Structure 1
């Protein structure tokens, strides 16, 4: 075993600890809410002591920032993978929606946790500032993803890619919230079908004739 291997061990252990803390935090926030969840609750679920928590994060809000980065990065990576080769589809718009719906369905727990944190941020200026910074970075990356997919597919957007990114995000988040258990008459399959229809209509309205080629 080399010196480098010995030096890498603490880094791997810390990374594993952080991942388990984030997993525990997501489950705890989804179960009892961000405000009600305590550091002790998160540590208990993850099998850690308070010391393990504070060796990685100063506050619960800082942990949420790391959770935001992880979950949104995962979602974007899934979407990017699913949009690969979209230009070869006969109907890129319908294909994009169908491919990405699996990602949208997978992140519903995260959407609920994020929505509750937004309410927390509305009452706490420091949390609001941090959330705005995280959201701005996500918006930039989502805008680039949409713009790249449009370019590869040879279509022109009728509105800026950044505006379309905001509309898609709002539509998805609203769909999740409006179809919580007991919040409406639709079951999960019906809610997914409705979201599919809304996204297809939105994207068809957002693209015009194929971009001219040189």
Structure 2
């Protein structure tokens, strides 16, 4: 009986966290992290402030949980989609990799920011980390983990193609992210819709990626 009660409480707590995270994602997307009151998250989730603070210490703590969940989903999608792409091609040592790199670059960018709302939330999250020393380390660690895992998938894909990076995986990911985010910022500042296949995805990023790889040493 005690075990059943404990399992029920665990499921109930998990359900509470799930509903709070889902409600927060919606509210954060509408108002931003800073301008979303805890009361709004609680109202949309159907819980009291007490339920909120029994699960999360702050809005930032909640967003960190959301970020970790979302990055795991994106990493799985990137890995699975990359495997699908590589399963369709046979790459030789002298073969032109541009088409395959273009498809992998597109998948890489989708893993970073599939939509405007998520990009803006991540940008705000990073900015808060710069301004708030008490959460800076946790935010930095979350982004480091995400980027490191992206690098592992990228290195694995290149290995399957008989290629390797000329710089570290961490540096390669930072270069590609910097290029992508600058292009994305330009679109947003211009008031444009995010392109499904903009020039920085279809042309620039594959070319930069190609410049960072060489045939693998046997």
**Is 1:112–1:177's contact at 8 Å kept on the other side of the alignment?**
no
Deviation string, structure 1 residues 105-141 (Cα, Å, up to 9, x no partner): 5244222101112222222111222211212222222
Q: Which runs of 5+ in 1 are unaligned?
A: none
| CA distance in 2 between partners of 1:99 and 1:18 (Å) | 30
Residue in 1 that maps onto 2:62: 63
Offset of 1:61 from its aligned partner? 1.8
Offset of 1:45 from its aligned partner? 2.1
Deviation string, structure 1 residues 17-43 (Cα, Å, up to 9, x no partner): 212211221222221121111111111
Among candidates 188, 196, 204, match of residue 198 of structure 1: 204
**Is 1:39–1:60's contact at 8 Å kept on the other side of the alignment?**
yes
Among candidates 90, 93, 103, match of residue 95 of structure 1: 103
Deviation string, structure 1 residues 55-111 (Cα, Å, up to 9, x no partner): 211122211211121111111111011111444425431231244454455244222
| CA distance in 2 between partners of 1:103 and 1:117 (Å) | 17
| CA distance in 2 between partners of 1:185 and 1:65 (Å) | 28
**Between 131-140 and 158-167, the greater mean CA deviation after superposition:** 131-140
| CA distance in 2 between partners of 1:171 and 1:46 (Å) | 37
Helix, strand or coil at the partner of 1:156: strand
| CA distance in 2 between partners of 1:8 and 1:107 (Å) | 37
Q: For the aligned residues, what is the CA RMSD?
A: 2.3
| CA distance in 2 between partners of 1:17 and 1:108 (Å) | 27
Residue in 2 that maps onto 1:109: 117
Q: Which runs of 5+ in 2 are unaligned?
A: 92-96
Matching of residue 32 in structure 1 with residue 35 in structure 2 = no
Matching of residue 211 in structure 1 with residue 216 in structure 2 = yes
Residue in 2 that maps onto 1:149: 157
**Between 86-95 and 127-136, the greater mean CA deviation after superposition:** 86-95
Matches of residues 1-214 of structure 1 in structure 2 within 5 Å?
6-88=5-87, 89=89, 91=97, 92-104=100-112, 106-180=114-188, 183-184=189-190, 186-189=192-195, 192-196=197-201, 197-208=203-214, 210-213=215-218
Offset of 1:7 from its aligned partner? 3.5
Distance 1:11 1:171, change over 3 A: farther
